[in-house]
């Protein structure tokens, strides 16, 4: 167990958690709550009838609250997979950002998220490639945290991955690159939409050269 984790083993605010089934955190999954305010989100994440939870809740004004100890399995990811492995709940830490789903993420919230990500990554020896969107692991089922999250800003701080291709980058087929990154198998359009949500939210229409080049550069940088 990582040093300094004792304070994260206090009684949970949410009862919705379980054993990690022999796994340890290998991913950090970012979500938005999709609810009107922090109180509503917290109530749902702590409701035993809802059977959902997350390790952390970050409000619009930057308040960061632990709901489930990081040593426990929170119920945030649901069905899906990443890098060929399912049961993402057992091997991830979930962060819920209070946001209704159609609003920008305020600066205090993003600053708090950056601090939280740094701390988690140090505690569990995780790199920027381990920080993913809920939509990455569940294409077609989930779209959070959506196109408004500043992934590029997180990447500048070493807290996520984000690239822009150059005009001379190679242009290989996109499928193998998405496989290498970890996207689960599904129909090509659904997977492209999930990829764009995270890496090219301005992308529209059929698959483009820029999509392929971006995916290839990301795959090469994560090798």
> What tens digit of pLDDT does each residue of 173-196 get?
999 999 999 999 999 999 999 999
pLDDT confidence band for 11 (50 / 70 / 90)? low
2 part of a folded domain: no
The model's pTM: 0.95
Catalytic residues: 96
What is the C-alpha separation between 199 and 215, in angstroms, rounded?
Answer: 9
The pLDDT value recorded for residue 167 is 87
Please, what is the average pLDDT of the chain? 94
Full residue range of the structural domain in which residue 188 is found: 174-222
165 part of a folded domain: no
Number of domains in the chain: 2
Any idea which of 10-24, 41-55, 65-79 has the lowest mean pLDDT? Answer: 10-24
> Are 208 and 152 part of one and the same domain?
no
168 part of a folded domain: no
Mean pLDDT of 81-96: 97
pLDDT confidence band for 99 (50 / 70 / 90)? very high
Neighbours of 10 (CB within 10 A): 9
Say whether pLDDT at 1 is over 60.
no
| Per-residue pLDDT reduced to its tens digit, 109-142 | 999 999 999 999 999 999 999 999 999 999 999 9
131 part of a folded domain: yes
What is the C-alpha separation between 200 and 210, in angstroms, rounded?
Answer: 9
> Are 139 and 107 part of one and the same domain?
yes
Which residue, of 156, 188, 204, is where some domain finishes?
156
123 part of a folded domain: yes
The pLDDT value recorded for residue 9 is 47
> Are 50 and 121 part of one and the same domain?
yes
């Amino acid at each position: 167990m990582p040093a300094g984790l004792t304070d994260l083993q206090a009684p949970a605010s949410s009862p919705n958690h379980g054993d990690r089934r022999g796994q340890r955190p290998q991913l950090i999954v970012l979500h938005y709550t999709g609810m009107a305010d922090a109180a509503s989100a917290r109530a749902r994440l702590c409701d035993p009838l809802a059977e959902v939870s997350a390790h952390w809740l970050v409000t619009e004004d930057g308040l960061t609250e632990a709901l489930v100890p990081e040593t426990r399995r929170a119920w945030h990811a649901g069905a899906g997979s990443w890098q060929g492995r399912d049961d993402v709940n057992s091997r991830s830490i979930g962060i819920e950002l209070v946001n209704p789903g159609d609003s920008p993420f305020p600066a205090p919230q993003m600053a708090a998220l950056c601090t939280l990500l740094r701390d988690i990554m140090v505690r569990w020896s995780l790199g920027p490639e381990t920080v993913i969107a809920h939509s990455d692991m569940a294409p077609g089922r989930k779209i959070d945290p959506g196109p408004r999250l500043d992934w590029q800003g997180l990447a500048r701080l070493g807290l996520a991955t984000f690239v822009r291709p150059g005009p001379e980058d190679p242009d290989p087929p996109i499928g193998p690159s998405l496989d290498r990154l970890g996207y689960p198998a599904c129909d090509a359009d659904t997977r492209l939409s999930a990829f764009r949500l995270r890496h090219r939210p301005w992308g529209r229409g059929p698959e483009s050269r820029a999509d392929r080049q971006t995916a290839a550069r990301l795959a090469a940088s994560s090798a």
